[in-house]
Structure 1
Amino acid sequence: MDTKHIGYQMQLYVALVRAGNFTQAAEQLGITRSWLSQQISGLEKSLNTLLLHRTTRTLRMTDSGERFFEHAVAMESLLEKAQEDISSTQMGIKGKVRISCPTAMASVLVVPAIKTLRYEHPELDIELAVTDAIQDLLQENIDVAIRVGNLPDSNLKARLLGRFHQRWYQSPELAEDSDDQILLPWQTAEHANVLRVNNILTAAEMAKQGLGRVLLPDLFAQSCCEQGLLKLVSEVEPEPEQQRHVHAIHAFSEFTPARIRLVIDTLLSQFQLSQSNMD
C-alpha cells in the first residue's frame, strides 16, 4: 500500500463526504474538481477497495467507505488535538475548562488550585460547578470532575489525588457526653438525637453553633479547628472505612489536552500541599 499521501487523502475524503458532491467539496477546499477526483481515486487504489458509489449528482458510501470514514474522522480529531496541544505548549496554556466538585472539596482543594492556575495561566478560562450531585460529564459538558469515594466501573479516566479521613467534630462548648448528631444524607445514624441536613457547609455551621457533633473530612474541618470553632471529639484514629479516596476524572479517551493535564496536575499538587499542612 502506498501510504505517502494517505493522510492528506483521508482529509479530502472526509471533506467530500460532508459536502456531498465533488463540485461543492472542491470549492470549499480551494482545489479543482479534477484534482479532488484524482486523489480519491488514488486513495481507493491504495486501499484496494471502492469507497464511493458515484453518480452525476450524488455520492453514496460503500460499506468499506463508511468504515473508512469513521477512521478518517477519528484521525482528523486526533490531528486537531495534537495541534492544540503543541500550540498550547508553545504559546501558553489557554482555552476553557469546566470543573465540577463536591462542596467539601471546593474551598480546601479546587479554589486554591484555581488561584494557582489563574496566576500562572491567565488565559485559561475556568468555570467551576460546585454540587454534591453526581453529574454526567458528557451530558453536562464537564472537563474535570472531583469524585470522593469508590469509583464505579466506567470508560472515564481517573487519577488518584489522595486520601482523607472522616472524623467526628463538635463545638468546644458542646458537652463531651452529648449524643446529638448532625448527619448528611449519605451518613447513617448511630443515635436517636439526630438533625439531618443536605449540605456540608450548613452541617459544619450547625456543629459550630453547638447543635451536635458532625462527621467531616479532616481536610475540610482543619481551618475550623485552627480558629477554635470545632474540635476533634476523640483523638483515636478513625476506622479504615472512614477513609475516602479523592479522584480527578475526565472523559478524554485517546488524547488528553494539555490544559486538562495541567488542571489535574495542579489539583494533585494542591491536595499534597493541603495534606502536608496537616502534618
Structure 2
Amino acid sequence: MGRDVNLNRLAIFVALVRAGSFTAAAAQLGMTKAMVSQHMLRLERELGVTLIVRSTRRMALTEAGAAFHADCVPLLEQAEAAIERVGDQRSTPAGTLRLTTSTDYGTAVVAPALAEFHRLHPRVQVDLVINDQISDLIAERFDLAIRIGWLRDSNLRATRLGNFRQLLVAAPAYLAEHGVPRRPEDVAMHGWIAMSALVTPLRWTFTRGRTRRVVRMRQVMQANNAAAIRALVLAGAGLSVLPDYLAEDDIQAGRLQVLLAQYQLLEGGIHAVYPDPQPPAKVRAFIDFMRDRLTKR
C-alpha cells in the first residue's frame, strides 16, 4: 500500500495539523482551502483510514491520525535536513575531496597546494592518490584528477588550469665531460634518457620562430616517469627533457643546466578532469584555487 501513497501529501497533512484549520493551512501553503481538503481526502483514501474528523467549525485528529502525525513529523524533518545538507555541498566546500594525479606532479605541485587549500577550507578532508596510470574516476570514486600533458578523448568534463614548459636539461658534470650542444642536431650525438610513457620518446621537435628542427635521439636509458628521468639526469647519465615544475629548483641551484634555451619544445597542458556535470563546492573551490595558484607561478 505504501507505494501508492503520494508522499507530498504528508507535508500538507503535517502543515494542516500545525496550522489547526484548513483555512490557516491553505494560507501557509499557498493553496485554496478546497485543494487542502481534496489532498486530505485522497491521502485518507490512499491510507485506508480516517485521519481527521471535521465539523463546520472544528477539526480533530483521530487516533490513527495522531499516530500517523507523530511518525510523519520526524520523517519530514529528516528530509529537510538531507535537502539542506545537499544544498550545503553545492555552496560550501566540505566533506572528503578524493583526487588523483601523477607521481611527479602530485609530489612537486599538488601535495603542497593541497596543504594550503586545506588551511583555507578546513571543513574539506583530502584523500590524494598518486598513480601514474590513468584511473577510472567513476569506478574508483574520485572527485577529480589533475592530468598533465595532452588529454585523451573521453566523456569526462575537463577544465584547463594552466600550461607547463618542457626543458632540455643536463647535469654540469655531464656537459663538462661530453660538451654542450649548440644546435638541435648536436643533441643526437649525446646519450638520451627517454621517457618510455611517451608515444614518440626519441623524436623531438625544436621550434625557433618559423624554424622547426626535428631530431631523433640516441637512447642510452629509459624510465617510465619524470621523477626517475630527473634522478638519472642529475646523476650525469645523459640529456633529457623535464617539465619546468620538476626542474626549476635544480636549475636555480645549479644542479641542472638548460640547453638550447633559444628553442622551444611543445608546451603541455594541466587539466582538472571530473565526472560530475554539477561538481560540488569542494571540487569547484579546488579547481579555482589551482587555477589561481598556477597563474601566479
Instruction: Name the TM-score class by shorter chain.
Output: 0.5 to 0.7
**Could you tell me how far apart the structure 1 residues matched to 2:147 and 2:120 are?**
25
Runs of at least 5 residues in structure 1 that lack an aligned partner in the other structure: 1-5, 12-33, 42-76, 275-279
* Residue of structure 2 in register with 1:149 after alignment: 149
Give secondary structure in 2 for the equivalent of 1:97: strand
Selected match of 1:243 from 267, 274, 280 = 267
Shift of 1:259: 0.8
Contact 1:112 1:270 in 2 (8 A): no
Aligned residues: 205
* Residue of structure 1 in register with 2:99 after alignment: 99
Q: List aligned pairs for 1:1-279, cutoff 5 A.
A: 8=8, 38=43, 81-86=86-91, 88=92, 93-175=93-175, 176-177=180-181, 179-187=190-198, 188-189=201-202, 190-239=216-265, 242-253=266-277, 255-274=278-297
Shift of 1:8: 3.6
Contact 2:149 2:269 in 1 (8 A): yes
* Residue of structure 1 in register with 2:25 after alignment: none
Give secondary structure in 2 for the equivalent of 1:113: helix
* CA deviations over 1:109-161 (Å, ceiling 9, x no partner): 21221121121122311011111111110111111101123323332111110
> Structure 1 pair 98/173, CA: closer, same or farther in 2 (3 Å)?
same
1:169 is matched by which residue type in structure 2? V
TM-score by length of 2: 0.61
Contact 2:98 2:142 in 1 (8 A): yes
**Could you tell me how far apart the structure 2 residues matched to 1:37 and 1:117 are?**
53
Q: Which moved more, 1:193-202 or 1:137-146?
A: 193-202
Q: Which moved more, 1:120-129 or 1:189-198?
A: 189-198
Shift of 1:39: 8.8
**Could you tell me how far apart the structure 1 residues matched to 2:270 and 2:103 are?**
13
**Could you tell me how far apart the structure 1 residues matched to 2:285 and 2:44 are?**
40
Shift of 1:214: 1.5
* Residue of structure 1 in register with 2:22 after alignment: none
* Residue of structure 2 in register with 1:30 after alignment: none
Query: Kindly, what percent of the aligned residue pairs are identical?
Result: 25
> Structure 1 pair 179/98, CA: closer, same or farther in 2 (3 Å)?
same
Runs of at least 5 residues in structure 2 that lack an aligned partner in the other structure: 1-5, 12-38, 47-81, 182-188, 203-215
**Could you tell me how far apart the structure 2 residues matched to 1:243 and 1:79 are?**
44
Tell me which structure has the larger Cα radius of gyration: 2
**Could you tell me how far apart the structure 1 residues matched to 2:260 and 2:162 are?**
23
Shift of 1:9: 6.1
Shift of 1:7: 9.1
**Could you tell me how far apart the structure 2 residues matched to 1:257 and 1:238 are?**
38
Contact 1:148 1:245 in 2 (8 A): yes
**Could you tell me how far apart the structure 1 residues matched to 2:242 and 2:133 are?**
18
1:268 is matched by which residue type in structure 2? R
Give secondary structure in 1 for the equivalent of 2:174: coil
> Structure 1 pair 270/192, CA: closer, same or farther in 2 (3 Å)?
same
**Could you tell me how far apart the structure 2 residues matched to 1:158 and 1:185 are?**
26
